[in-house]
C-alpha cells in the first residue's frame, strides 16, 4: 500500500485488510511517503499494535517507486495491491487468490465502488460510479461480466510474474496500473476482471483537489499515448477532443459575430458548436437522471465537467510536450 498524507483514511484501509478471512499468512507493507498531516504517527501506532505491518520508506513519494520497494521486500507468492483511500470488501482476498489460481491470470481485479461523504465528495463518487463519468472502464460497472480485461483495478498478482517484467514503470507518476497490465498482456499473460470483488474507494473531497488529480492523470495518459500510440483505447481521446472544440469555438465566436468570416464558410465553421451543445445536453441529461436534491444534481454535473475538462486539458499537455515532471498535488495541497 503506497501511503502519503492519508491520516483520515489509513486506519480504515488497514482494518479492511485484517478483517479479511484468509487461510494463510499475510503481511502488510506500507510504502510510506514524506507525509505532513500526522499519517506517520498513525502508522507508528498501527505497527505497534500488529507485527504483521512493515513500513517501507518511500522518500521520493512516487507511487510506482513505493510499490516496487514494497514488492521487493514482500515475502509471499501473491501481491495484493491496496490504496490507502480504499477499503477491501468482505471476502476480497480469499476470492481474489482463488480466482488467480482458477484462471491462471497474472493479475486479477474487481469493481471500484466509490463512496463519498455529503457534498463534493459524494458528487465525485457518483461521477466515478456513473456511466457519464470515467468513460467505460469495465471495473467501474457492477454489471460487468467476469472475464479477460484491458486492465485491473489495483490488482491481485502473481509475485514472480510481477517481478519478471520489472514491476511498475518508475518513470510514470500516473497510469502505472494500466501500463503494468498492458505489459503483462503483451508478454502473453491474462488480466482478469472478477466483478464479485469489490473495493470501496474514497475520492477527492474538494474542487481544487479534483481538478489537480484529473489534470495530472490526463497529462500522464497523454504521455502514455506518446509512448504507445494507437494501443490506447479510443475513449481516452474524447475529453481532449472536447477541449479542442471548446477552444475553437472561443476563437470562432468573435470572428463570426463581427462578420469577419461569412458566407458558406461561416456555416461550415459553425458546425464546431455542435460539440459543446451536445456536451451541455449530456450534462443536463446526467443531472436530470441523477438522484438527490437540485443542488446535488447541479453539483454532480459540475463534477463531471471538472473531471472531463481537467483530464482533457492535461492530456493535450502530456501528448504535445510529454509529462516531464508533472505531479499529482491533490494529496499534498488543500
pLDDT digits (tens, 9 = 90+) for 266-304: 999 999 999 999 999 999 999 999 999 999 999 999 999
pLDDT digit string, tens, across residues 34-56: 999 999 999 999 999 999 999 99
pLDDT digit string, tens, across residues 88-133: 999 999 999 999 999 999 999 999 999 999 999 999 999 998 888 8
Q: What is the mean pLDDT of residues 196-223?
A: 94
| Domain locations along the chain | 2-203, 225-321
Query: What does the pLDDT read at residue 334?
Result: 47
CATH class of 2-203: alpha beta
pLDDT-derived band at 142, boundaries 50, 70, 90: low
Query: What does the pLDDT read at residue 325?
Result: 82
Query: What does the pLDDT read at residue 25?
Result: 92
For residue 225, give the 3-state DSSP assignment. helix
Phi, psi of 84 (to 5 degrees): -70, -15
Average pLDDT, the chain: 92
Helices (H), 22-62: 39-49
Q: What is the mean pLDDT of residues 166-188?
A: 93
The CA distance from 33 to 331, in Å, is: 11
Q: How many CB atoms lie within 10 A of CB 270?
A: 13
Q: What is the mean pLDDT of residues 15-38?
A: 94
Amino acid at each position: 500500500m503506497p501511503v502519503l498524507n492519508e491520516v483520515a483514511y489509513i486506519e480504515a484501509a488497514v482494518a479492511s485488510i485484517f478483517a479479511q478471512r484468509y487461510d494463510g499468512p499475510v503481511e502488510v507493507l506500507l510504502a510510506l511517503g514524506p507525509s505532513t498531516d500526522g499519517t506517520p504517527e498513525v502508522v507508528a501506532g498501527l505497527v505497534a499494535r500488529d507485527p504483521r505491518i512493515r513500513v517501507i520508506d518511500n522518500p521520493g513519494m512516487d507511487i510506482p517507486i513505493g510499490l516496487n520497494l514494497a514488492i521487493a521486500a514482500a515475502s509471499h507468492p501473491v501481491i495484493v495491491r491496496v490504496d490507502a483511500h480504499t477499503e477491501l470488501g468482505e471476502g476480497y482476498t480469499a476470492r481474489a487468490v482463488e480466482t488467480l489460481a482458477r484462471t491462471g491470470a497474472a493479475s486479477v481485479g474487481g469493481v471500484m465502488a466509490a463512496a463519498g461523504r455529503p457534498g463534493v465528495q459524494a458528487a465525485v463518487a457518483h461521477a466515478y460510479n456513473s456511466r457519464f463519468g470515467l468513460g467505460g472502464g469495465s471495473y467501474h460497472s457492477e454489471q460487468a461480466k467476469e472475464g479477460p480485461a484491458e486492465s485491473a483495478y489495483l490488482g491481485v498478482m502473481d509475485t514472480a510474474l510481477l517481478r519478471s517484467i520489472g514491476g511498475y514503470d518508475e518513470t510514470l507518476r500516473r497510469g502505472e496500473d494500466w501500463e503494468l497490465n498492458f505489459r503483462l498482456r503483451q508478454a502473453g499473460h491474462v488480466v482478469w476482471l472478477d466483478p464479485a470483488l469489490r473495493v470501496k474507494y474514497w475520492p477527492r473531497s474538494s474542487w481544487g483537489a479534483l481538478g489537480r488529480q484529473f489534470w495530472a492523470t490526463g497529462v500522464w495518459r497523454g504521455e502514455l499515448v506518446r509512448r504507445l500510440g494507437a494501443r490506447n483505447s479510443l475513449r481516452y481521446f474524447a475529453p481532449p477532443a472536447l477541449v479542442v472544440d471548446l477552444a475553437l469555438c472561443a476563437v470562432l465566436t468573435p470572428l463570426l459575430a463581427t462578420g469577419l468570416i461569412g458566407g458558406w464558410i461561416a456555416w461550415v465553421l459553425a458546425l464546431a458548436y455542435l460539440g459543446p451543445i451536445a456536451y451541455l445536453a449530456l450534462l443536463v441529461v446526467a443531472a436530470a437522471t441523477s438522484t438527490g436534491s437540485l443542488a446535488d444534481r447541479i453539483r454532480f454535473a459540475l463534477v463531471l465537467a471538472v473531471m472531463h475538462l481537467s483530464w482533457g486539458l492535461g492530456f493535450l499537455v502530456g501528448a504535445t510536450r510529454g509529462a516531464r515532471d508533472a505531479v499529482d498535488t491533490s494529496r499534498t495541497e488543500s
